[in-house]
Structure 1
Amino acid sequence: MEQQSQPMESFRELLQDEPAFVLRVVQPGLAGLMDGSVSTLAPIFATAFATHQAHTAFLIGAASAVGAGISMAFSEGLSDNGELTGRGKPVIRGVITGVMTFLGGFLHTLPFLVNNLHVALELAYAVVGLELIAISWVRFRFMQTPFLRSCVQVILGGALVFLSGVLIGQS
């Protein structure tokens, strides 16, 4: 019984210790969400504009999200053992980062399940906008970045990657 209650107490303690929560949960999750949301934009939109096929864009987006999630999970999990930095257990950080990377890339892939490319693109634009606003809010809430500055930084980065995908897809 004692072993089962200890992880729950540890999690409760982590939630009550905001600096530790930010370092061990929010930061790896935010890094994953940012990477997944932004890094998958170029392949998805390049594919959509090059092929004019929503299903093909969906497949590329799904593959990008899965691959990025796995890559980021290993990258975060192997980056340090957590002892020197106090960042917590590497497996937990890796899972958090990997899952959030996958979600960040997969959420704006889902609209491409709609067969009509124009409708899928409109939905994907809206989802990307919501993702970037959510990232900005998390940075504002937990990283103490002014909300407007965070929006400008995140949206500028997303826009550059999106435009690269569109330009490559149209060439």
Structure 2
Amino acid sequence: MLSRFWSNTRREFHSLSEQEILALAISSEEDDARIYLAYADGLREDYPASAKIFEEMAAEEETHREMLLKMHKARFGPEVPLIRREHVKGYYERKPDWLVRPLGIEKVRAMASQMEQQAHRFYLRAAQQTKDVDTRLLLGELAIAESGHQTTASQLEAKHTPDEVRDAEDKAEHKQFILTYVQPGLAGLMDGSVSTLAPIFAVAFATHDTWTTFLVGLAASVGAGISMGFTEVASDDGVISGRGSPIKRGLATGIMTAIGGLGHALPYLIPHFWTATTIAFAIVIVELFAITWIQNKYMETPWARAIFQVVLGGALVFAAGMLIGNA
């Protein structure tokens, strides 16, 4: 009974027959071809040259599949057993990254390279486990072909994506990253870090009660995060502006808004008022520096201008909070 409970439904690779090895190779080539076509479909609108690369790589995988089918038909007949990657213990798996849109060009290229390396190792091991001379020869040829796909991909890339095209695609991807994540996240961080300064420090200096200050800071941060997130989602669907998914932008804005406010609210979990206030003030400085750094790195705002805007705004809000709290 215990053996049934702990049993693994996956087969060991060494237990596969030669027919099952061929069937596994056939299904793997079919899956890889579909993945490459999915990559091409996901890249076609923004990166048409790279999409063409994956279309040609998919065609090559289909050629390999046809070679394997001919070998299977010659040795075992036309009926191919149903065996896939998930049926074999220790066999490589494909993560469904191709289902996530938009596709990142560099991530797709890296995944394709990993796919070819895994396929190369599979064919080497499959050939070692096969005794039939013709089948072993075919598997060895496919191992060489998969190993050479790195060269083929490079050749296709040189053909379809010369340096100027690839540079343009990389710039487009970087711009999309900024529009979808950096810009909304920066807006949220600025709002959370700066706008919550006044209520948090006003309550802190008015009550000198760290727990009350923390609760107000928590409420202000979470509330601002929810408000900013929904505002970002509702403000632009991204279709015309090209800013990307409103859900992703909303999450980036909402999460960073909450983080910005919680940064200087959490120190008030410390019971000692001045210790908590000193730490909160230090965290505010770190937050303002982080905002300045992001503006300079991603938004190309000059350091002097970024520091002036952020520090001046933060100082005015902080001063307003202290004045109101001590009134």
Q: Give the TM-score normalised by structure 2.
A: 0.50
Corresponding position of 1:108: 264
Give runs of aligned pairs for residues 76-95 of structure 1, distance below 5 A: 76-95=232-251
Corresponding position of 1:56: 212
Closer, same or farther: CA 56–84 of 1 in aligned 2, 3 Å? same
What secondary structure sits across from 1:73 in the alignment?
Answer: helix
* Counterpart amino acid of residue 133 in structure 1: F
The range that moved more, 108-117 or 9-18, is: 9-18
Closer, same or farther: CA 74–26 of 1 in aligned 2, 3 Å? same
Given the alignment, which residue of 226, 229, 236 partners 1:73?
A: 229
1:105-134 per-residue CA deviation (whole Å, 9 max, x = no partner) reads 001111111100100010001000000000
Given the alignment, which residue of 138, 148, 155 partners 2:311?
A: 155
Moved over 6 A (4+): none
Which whole-Å CA distance do the structure 2 matches of 1:77 and 1:164 have between them? 31
Q: CA RMSD in A?
A: 1.7
From the CA coordinates, give the structure whose radius of gyration is larger: 2
Corresponding position of 1:41: 197
The range that moved more, 6-15 or 61-70, is: 6-15
Shift of 1:151: 1.0
* Structure with larger RCO (C-alpha < 8 A, sep 6+): 1
| 1:6 corresponds to 2:88 | no
* Counterpart amino acid of residue 145 in structure 1: T
Identity across matched positions, percent: 51
Q: Give the TM-score normalised by structure 1.
A: 0.94
The total of aligned residue pairs comes to 171
Corresponding position of 1:117: 273
* Counterpart amino acid of residue 166 in structure 1: M
* Counterpart amino acid of residue 195 in structure 2: S
Shift of 1:5: 2.1
What secondary structure sits across from 1:66 in the alignment?
Answer: helix
* Counterpart amino acid of residue 12 in structure 1: G
Give the unaligned 5+ runs of structure 1. none
Corresponding position of 1:135: 291
Give the unaligned 5+ runs of structure 2. 1-30, 39-95, 108-169
The range that moved more, 87-96 or 65-74, is: 87-96
Structure with the largest fraction of helix: 1
